[in-house]
């Protein structure tokens, strides 16, 4: 079988039928839709019109990750296309994504651009900014520690590669971001197609708003796990570009991990922070270090710092020996 759609649901209401219908419309004779009912009680699963390509799996109320893993193990396609029960797959999605996957065997997962909508009122600014970032992202590997560079309900992945890294993991982590980072840490590639592939329905009940697994601290845990497997797998000489608030937890983590923090770069007044000299950006050409981490979250700061580094340290390559963490 070519591709299995994987849709977990708990009490999807009227939105579920829209999601399932949009996935079925994308199916060829070689595809299927796997719906995982995670203890729904609203009748939305039973109300679906039967379809020969639709398989419904049932489990007691165990949560999203358990539903994803249950469905993933039951999917029969060599590719698995994710969709949430409140979103809508756009026409042509599978064709764009599977063509790319067929062309490049090193490609483990591929997302795409998205549109954002709500049933009532304007979409929240924060979510729209994230969608805009995804839609304009040139290289997910370069900015992989900024945010999740693939939008989960927009992703189609190669089943064997996700199996090789252990599938979705439970715990207090964003299950999708954790998975993308483990794929990349294994040396596999991820990317986005330059096409809109999903419409995201934003609403107050989205797990990304309500579940602590999607908090900033949970994302930072994923970032640190990734660095421990890759750039910081052994003790390194590190420069941290950060303000006091955003930099303090990273400085503490680096020192606890046995890394030598050469300096903290900050545009504020020079001083010493936790025994580490605080220096202005102009000193970067004179510093000898292995890795630069940038933890500055002010809007527009990442682009300004990127431009500064192109002048001050043109030898540094983003995503190789320097990373933005916000």
- The tens digit of pLDDT for each residue in 215-235 reads 999 999 999 999 999 999 999
Provide the pLDDT confidence category of residue 209 given band limits of 50, 70 and 90.
low
Q: 223, 253, 271: which is the final residue of a domain? A: 223
Provide the CATH number for the domain around residue 263.
3.40.50.720
119 and 181 assigned to the same domain = yes
Mean pLDDT of 292-316: 94
Looking at the structure of the chain, the number of domains it has is: 2
Provide the pLDDT confidence category of residue 175 given band limits of 50, 70 and 90.
very high
Residue 205 pLDDT exceeds 80: no
267 and 186 assigned to the same domain = no
Cα(196)–Cα(135) distance, integer angstroms: 8
Cα(241)–Cα(146) distance, integer angstroms: 14
Structure token digits, residue 18: 């829209």
Contacts of 11 (CB under 8 A, 6+ apart): 40, 41, 42, 44
Q: Could you tell me if residue 228 is inside a domain?
A: no
Phi, psi of 119 (to 5 degrees): -80, -20
Provide the CATH number for the domain around residue 13.
3.90.550.10
**pLDDT tens, 64-86?**
999 999 999 999 999 999 999 99
290 and 146 assigned to the same domain = no
35 and 97 assigned to the same domain = yes
173 and 240 assigned to the same domain = no
Q: 194, 223, 252: which is the final residue of a domain? A: 223
Residue 126 pLDDT exceeds 70: yes
Q: Which residue segment(s) compose the domain that 160 sits in?
A: 3-223
Mean pLDDT of 247-271: 92
Residue 32 pLDDT exceeds 80: yes
Mean pLDDT of 222-250: 95
Residue 269 pLDDT exceeds 80: no
């Amino acid at each position: 079988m070519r591709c299995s759609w994987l849709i977990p649901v708990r009490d999807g209401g009227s939105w579920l039928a829209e999601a399932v219908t949009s996935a079925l419309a994308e199916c060829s004779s070689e595809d299927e839709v796997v719906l995982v009912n995670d203890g729904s009680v609203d009748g939305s699963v039973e109300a679906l019109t039967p379809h020969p390509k639709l398989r419904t799996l049932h489990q007691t109320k165990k949560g999203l990750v358990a539903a994803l893993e249950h469905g993933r193990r039951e999917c029969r396609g060599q590719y698995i296309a994710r969709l949430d029960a409140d979103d809508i797959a756009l026409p042509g999605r599978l064709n764009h994504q599977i063509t790319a996957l067929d062309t490049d065997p090193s490609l483990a997962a591929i997302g795409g651009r998205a549109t954002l909508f709500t049933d009532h009122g304007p979409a929240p600014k924060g979510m729209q900014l994230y969608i805009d970032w995804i839609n304009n992202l040139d290289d997910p590997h370069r900015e992989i520690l900024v945010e999740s560079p693939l939008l989960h309900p927009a992703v189609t992945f190669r089943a064997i590669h996700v199996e090789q890294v252990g599938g979705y993991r439970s715990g207090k982590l964003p299950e999708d971001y954790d998975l993308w980072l483990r794929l990349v840490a294994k040396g596999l590639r991820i990317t986005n197609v330059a096409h809109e592939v999903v419409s995201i329905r934003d609403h107050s009940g989205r797990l990304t708003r309500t579940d602590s697994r999607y908090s900033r601290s949970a994302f930072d845990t994923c970032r640190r796990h990734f660095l421990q497997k890759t750039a910081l797998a052994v003790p390194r000489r590190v420069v941290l570009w950060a303000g006091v608030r955003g930099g303090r937890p990273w400085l503490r983590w680096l020192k606890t991990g046995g890394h030598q923090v050469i300096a903290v770069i900050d545009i504020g007044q020079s001083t010493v922070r936790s025994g580490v000299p605080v220096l202005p950006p102009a000193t970067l050409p004179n510093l000898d270090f292995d890795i630069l981490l940038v933890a500055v979250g002010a809007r527009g700061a990442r682009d300004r710092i990127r431009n500064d580094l192109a002048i001050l340290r043109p030898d540094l390559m983003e995503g190789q020996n320097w990373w933005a963490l916000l």
